[in-house]
A and B are shown apart, each in its own frame.
Chain A
């Protein structure tokens, strides 16, 4: 089980140090390990999609950041729509109730094989979040190698084009339908039983995430911020 905090434009001030760690781990995983980007002096990895539209999920275990990932509503510019639209020959998703999913990472010390680790818990949290927010489908540019993982969870996977090799890795545009069965499936496979998503401070709804505050105040779960954040 993880505590997976939702961080967006309106509550990120509560997560100063944790967000710094998040971008630092992204640097470690995507710039150094995968070599997707040239190194920079700051040691942080950010791109053009880390805007006010982005929602970051930060996974904590016993107060330490162990995993993270990012969601961007598909009616905004996304990695798939702006950089790799050629992967989606059957059409790029463009609805605000669809989520472009990128930058999933698990810190090296927390990685293990199989479903019952941090990565599995993080994916269970992601599906919990999507259902909670009324997101109909989540996905984007995926590594083809990992597609069987989603099948193991019983997820309905729709690919949007044939795979292509990007920087030596076979990638495919794929969307996963968000449904209660998908959450049950990933929970059964990962052994995660309870809710992991935590909301702290003023959190925007994903589907109507306009800068103006929502008219209906969002229920905010009172989970204390781990001390490490502050």
Chain B
């Protein structure tokens, strides 16, 4: 069994190194992680307290209803299981964390997760050069009874999936570099938000947002925000 798990992991790594399409990487990881008992996962950069999660998400195989709710209600900032990834470099299981009865908002997030079919999970923090760090959060709809070897396999597979996903978003790195704020402004422009709305969402000044939008247009070499959004989609900066 041990050898078999190792084969699963090495086959995955050999395959994923060759994939250059984020949806193919997502599908490949989904099949393999499901075979190890984890049908759901999300691979994402970790947002700081004043940031939203969405712009950091690289691969999303969460149940749709849970992703919608988690992002709409900005659950990450109350999610003790997710927040723990900000403070450790080692992988952990949900069950490794003790959440006290007094931590109501954390318990509410866990209850909601359960109602969406996520009852247990395993989180892999990883180094990231452009966010605080990144993590792959695997989840399952039944209590997990994975062996250490199975978790080690999930661990390395998620790391190589992250590497492949990053390479798949390569144009992003060949571009004049966008700052996190510029990327956020682009993201919200793509969601149809005005400069004023963006300033409210991000909690920064209107003039500041206008400045970001101006430098964005310069960097993307376009005249209007609509063109910036189109260019962002074409280059893979905005997930379509």
Q: Which A residues fall within an 8 A CB radius of B?
A: 89-90, 114-115, 143-149, 151-152, 154, 157, 159, 161-165, 168-170, 172, 189
Contacts and interface: CB of A to CB of B under 8 A. Distances in A.
Contacts of A154: 167
Nearest to B91: A170
Contact of A161 (B6, B125, B127): B6
Contact of A168 (B10, B90, B156): B90
Contacts of B5: 162
Interface of B: 5-6, 9-10, 13, 89-91, 125-130, 134, 149, 152-153, 155-156, 159-160, 162-163, 166-167
Contacts of A148: 126-129, 134, 159, 162-163, 166
Contacts of B127: 145-149
Contact of A162 (B90, B152, B166): B152
Given A163-B152, A189-B129, 12 more contacts: A143-B89, A144-B156, A147-B159, A151-B159, A151-B162, A152-B129, A157-B160, A162-B6, A163-B156, A168-B90, A170-B91, A170-B155
Contacts of B10: 90
A149 B159 CA distance: 10
16 contacts: A143-B89, A145-B90, A145-B125, A145-B127, A147-B126, A148-B127, A148-B159, A148-B163, A154-B167, A159-B13, A162-B5, A162-B155, A163-B152, A170-B152, A170-B155, A189-B129
A110 B148 CA distance: 36
A160 B130 CA distance: 28
Q: Is the interface of B mostly helix, strand, loop or mixed?
A: helix
B156 A162 contact: yes
A146 B89 CA distance: 9
A182 B149 CA distance: 31
Contact of A145 (B13, B89, B163): B89
| 3 closest residue pairs by CB, A with B | A151-B163, A162-B152, A145-B89
B130 to A, nearest CB: 8
Contacts of B6: 89, 161-162
A169 B90 CA distance: 7
Contacts of A159: 13, 156
Contact of A164 (B125, B126, B128, B152): B152
A171 to B, nearest CB: 11
A127 B92 CA distance: 33
Nearest to A162: B152
A161 B149 CA distance: 11
Nearest to A174: B156
A146 B126 CA distance: 7
Contacts of A144: 155-156, 159
Q: Pick from A144, A147, A162, A170 the residue with the most CB of B within 10 Å.
A: A162
A114 B159 contact: no
Contacts of B149: 162
Nearest to B88: A145
Contacts of A145: 89-90, 125-127
B129 A114 contact: yes
A147 B156 CA distance: 9
Contacts of A152: 129, 166
Contacts of B130: 114
A132 B187 CA distance: 44
Contacts of B9: 162
Contacts of A165: 90
Q: Pick from A145, A169, A189 the residue with the most CB of B within 10 Å.
A: A145
A186 B42 CA distance: 28
Nearest to B170: A154
A115 B128 CA distance: 10
Nearest to A153: B129
Contacts of B162: 148, 151
Contact of A151 (B89, B91, B152, B167): B167
